[in-house]
Amino acid sequence: MADILQLLVAGLATGGIYALVAVGFTLLWQTSQTINFAQGEFVMLPAFFVLIAMGYFGLPFWAAVAVGGVVSVVVLGLLFKKWMVDPMIRHGVLPLVIATIGLAILMKEMVREFYGADAWPFPALAATTDVAVLGAVFSIQSLLILAICIAVVVALQLFLNGTRTGRCMQATAQNPTVARLLGVRVERMILYTFLINGALVWVASLLITPIYLAKFTNGEWLGLYAFIAAIIGGFNQVRGAIVGGLLLGVVDNFAAAYISSQYRMAIPLMILIVVILFRPQGLLGRVEERTV
Amino acid sequence: MSTVLQVRDLKKSFGGIVAVDGVSFSVDEGEILGIIGPNGSGKSTLFNCILGQLTPSGGEVHLDGRPVTGMRPCDLNRLGVSRTFQLLQIFAQLTVRENLILAGQEHKGTMLGRLVGPRDAGLAAAAERMIGFFRLEHLADEHAGDLSYGQQKLLDVAMAFMAGPRLALLDEPAGGVNLTMLASLRERLRAINAESRSTFVVIEHNMEFVMALCTRILVLAEGRVIAEGAPAAVRSDPKVIEAYLGHS
Amino acid sequence: MSNRRLAAGIVLASAGAFLLVVPFGLKPYGIFILSMWAVMTIAAIGLNLTLGYAGQISLAQAAFVGIGAYITAYLTTKGWPFWPTYVFGGISCFAVGWVLGYPALRVQHHYLAFVTLAFNTLVYLIFRNEEWLTGGIYGISNVPRPSVLGLSMNSPLAFYYFCLAHLALVSAATWWLIRSPWGRAFVALRENPIRALSLGVDTRRYTLVAFAIGAGLGGISGALYAPLLQFVDPTPFALGLSLNLLLMVVLGGSGYFFGPFLGAIVAVLLPEWLRFTQGFYLMGYAVLVIVLMAFSPTGLLGLADRLTRPARRRTASAAGGPPETAAESETAR
């Protein structure tokens, strides 16, 4: 029983991180039809921003973290939108997807070429000690990650539902044409989603890199988990992305413990196929309209 | 005189916006039904729901008595329904002749049969006939993307008739076509209707075109039918005038 | 129009002659690279069907090449002759493609991209872990080269012509496919899926078929890959190759018949010549693709097409016609 609880909490923790990444991915898709294949690399990079700020600019950890955040939001949010998405979206969804695939390769190779191919340790946000609760041992790390993820998600939901800007963003996601007619500054709302994604991947990076070390290949599997989480939750639903991420994290953790760790990757794929086969709109999604 | 198309209490909403609010009508064989109404009255949405492009929020559609609500457009096509689009949708990269052959090739036979069968899927003669009928001979081997707008419009209509449909839904066929062409288009449509006994439903804004072409008119406003009947009667119906011009 | 045709014909004939003659001036390694180009082009032609004609992104082409390669390697090292393994590999990949694509293509979004991404990752794991079948990380070595009518294809030169012959065969078959009614349906599917649907084109079925055939061609490419290297291990079939093939097709011009040929030249031959730049080469490649997507999404051949197209447009409208059509050329577009 204690084992299961431990695995559950650890699974929820990593699941929370996947959820953050999946939410960002879903938001981009909802508001601007952007399928960001480089989302995994977007999570891989901020850790390197922080490492560079500490290593080459000699900043203390927390200052570097802040710098990493700013750079993430500006480069992965603003510049990504202005320089890549805007010029390309007029050609349709397909060229943009391919371009983001190219971007993913570019980012990966740039890190490998200019920083190095090794796996670097990354400071955790809290000491890696354990705490015993109800006979089970949990790492402070996992609990903290879970807490931060919950906090971010709650903050995001409050923003989206509670503020005027947030509701405008939701309107833009549901129906940009009508939103425009109602006076919503659609372009600005879309920009906000990109900026929010920049922030989300920054937080995710800070949480996941201490566990898996900073390596240029992190993006490959992180991206895959994010996509699968978004799909099984329901491609067009932010809440779905959260549920998908948590589910994936828990299942993945249990699978690694009880099934061969070599085939860990098989489980998310199986879940994906099953969901697409039997409930293609995802667990929380609405059945999609056929396009006119 | 059998009923080809029957629409019962069709509804369609997008979130909070109700585009079609309980529309019912039926069309008999050989009729040319015109659907008119001010902008935003739900005409195109109605078409899209009948044709499977959108899934209706409620109501039913029956073709020759059998329920076809929400069926995929390609399956409907094989049952003998075809359409044209408000925004021209021809295949620019293919020639006029190839466009027509494509329009007819999927209607019958199996997919595998099409692979090993003749290159033009046996439709060369039918395409030739259509080219002659719509007077497109000199353009037959031009790429559709190089045609003028009016010519493309003609091609669009021709494509809809390649498979000899039982029911053709035409979405603003007169849009953007000049006067000389209009008369000829109207005449061609009447000719096909008489020759093949096919049934048409036509959405149009051009009053003259619709009144001269159609045997019966349906008027839509705010997603509901507000008038129905012979062209002359509908034209002078006060409700219709009010819908278009507002309160006097 | 006929000028363009003539020019294209000359280019093609010269290229064909070049391919036949060039190996005589090359060392064995050069011939090997050329053979690799031919083999990769076959895989790219398959992907072009999926991406360029059916408009779907597949990230599993490397997995299909791998499956074909392992099938051939496994069976030929157990004594089977080459030909049945080749056919078996192609058909197996077609079947796997069908099974994979069926659920993924029932949905609107680009689900196939994600499903194929996960599939490729999974297949790679199987290649690496199932030692009893694939030799694990040690792979399968001493894959024999086939013999045609008693003539052994052992020498680099002979095997090069063997690969070239297969490329010609696959090209001819694909050309026939594109010119058939299916090809017309593919164009409709790509150009205007909404209109295609309303004309009775079962877009789902055609997309699935295109993907499955593309997968099958990947398998055939793999069946040639195994005897080319005479050694098969998991490393080449990771996601990297899938991405590489995708970029190849896109760069050359997706949806253009010769796009894969051009793209494969860039992807296979260029890194050999630019070997010293290694990591930078890959970055440059990625940047090129991004820039291309912004300015010419239809790749290099698309760019060439656009540059030579204006001439065609002008001649069509100048041709004129009977009075009624001349009058309506006034109608605003």
Find chain A residues with C-beta within 8 A of C130's C-beta.
none
The mean pLDDT of B203-224, rounded to a whole number, is 86
The mean pLDDT of B166-173, rounded to a whole number, is 88
Q: Read off the tokens for C292.
A: 């291309």
Q: Which structural domain range is residue C94 located in?
A: 27-306+317-331
Quote the distance between the C-alpha of residue B12 and its chain's center: 19
Contact A81, A59 (CB under 8 A): no
The mean pLDDT of C146-173, rounded to a whole number, is 87
Residue C331 has pLDDT above 60, yes or no: no
Phi, then psi, of B80 in degrees rounded to 5: 105, 20
Domains identified in chain C, total number:
1
Report pLDDT digits (tens) over A208-227.
Answer: 999 888 999 888 888 889 98
Q: Which helix (H) or strand (E) holds A105?
A: helix A93-114
pLDDT at B93: 82
Report pLDDT digits (tens) over A234-255.
Answer: 877 788 889 999 999 999 888 8
For tokens 């007077």, name the residue.
Answer: B135
pLDDT at C73: 93
pLDDT at B13: 85
Give the integer Cα–Cα distance in Å for C289 and C198: 34
- Interchain CB distance below 8 Å, C321 and B163: no
Report pLDDT digits (tens) over A85-108.
Answer: 888 888 878 888 889 999 999 999
pLDDT at B89: 77
**Which one of B15, B17, B53 has the shortest CB-CB distance to A292?**
B53
pLDDT at C167: 95
Report pLDDT digits (tens) over B32-83.
Answer: 999 988 877 888 888 888 888 888 888 889 988 889 888 888 888 888 888 8
The mean pLDDT of B221-226, rounded to a whole number, is 86
Residue C311 confidence class, pLDDT cut points 50, 70, 90: low
pLDDT at C330: 31
CA dihedral A282, A283, A287, A288 (to 10 degrees): -30
Report pLDDT digits (tens) over C54-69.
Answer: 888 899 999 999 999 9
Q: Would you say residue C312 lies in a domain?
A: no
Residue C328 confidence class, pLDDT cut points 50, 70, 90: very low
pLDDT at A291: 42
Q: Read off the tokens for B83.
A: 């359409």
Average pLDDT, rounded, for chain A: 86
Taking CA–CA distances from B183, the nearest residue in chain C reads C324
**Which one of C194, C199, C324 has the shortest CB-CB distance to B184?**
C324
pLDDT at C322: 36
Burial class (CB in 10 A: 0-12, 13-18, 19+), A7: middle
- Interchain CB distance below 8 Å, C185 and B178: no
- Interchain CB distance below 8 Å, C184 and B90: no
Q: Would you say residue C128 lies in a domain?
A: yes
- Interchain CB distance below 8 Å, C118 and A269: yes
Give the integer Cα–Cα distance in Å for A129 and B115: 67
Q: Would you say residue C17 lies in a domain?
A: no
Give the integer Cα–Cα distance in Å for C91 and C110: 25
Residue C274 has pLDDT above 80, yes or no: no
Q: Would you say residue C36 lies in a domain?
A: yes
Q: What is the ipTM score, two decimals?
A: 0.83
Average pLDDT, rounded, for chain C: 84
**Which one of B91, B176, B180 has the shortest CB-CB distance to C192?**
B91
Q: Would you say residue C311 lies in a domain?
A: no
Report pLDDT digits (tens) over B142-158.
Answer: 888 888 888 888 888 88
The mean pLDDT of A194-199, rounded to a whole number, is 94
Q: With pLDDT > 70 as the criterion, what percentage of chain A qualifies?
A: 95
Q: Would you say residue C11 lies in a domain?
A: no
**Which one of A174, A287, A290 has the shortest CB-CB distance to B54?**
A290
Report pLDDT digits (tens) over A33-44.
Answer: 888 999 999 999
Residue A31 confidence class, pLDDT cut points 50, 70, 90: confident
pLDDT at C210: 93
Chain C: residues touching B (Cβ < 8 Å): 177, 179-182, 184-185, 187-188, 191-192, 194-203, 205-206, 209, 312-313, 316-317, 319, 321-322, 324-325, 327-333
Longest pairwise C-alpha distance within chain C: 77
* Domain harbouring C86, CATH code: 1.10.3470
| pTM of the predicted protein model | 0.85
Residue A166 confidence class, pLDDT cut points 50, 70, 90: confident
For tokens 């959108």, name the residue.
Answer: B54
Q: Would you say residue C223 lies in a domain?
A: yes
Give the integer Cα–Cα distance in Å for C315 and A71: 53
Q: Read off the tokens for C63.
A: 């997995």
pLDDT at C28: 86
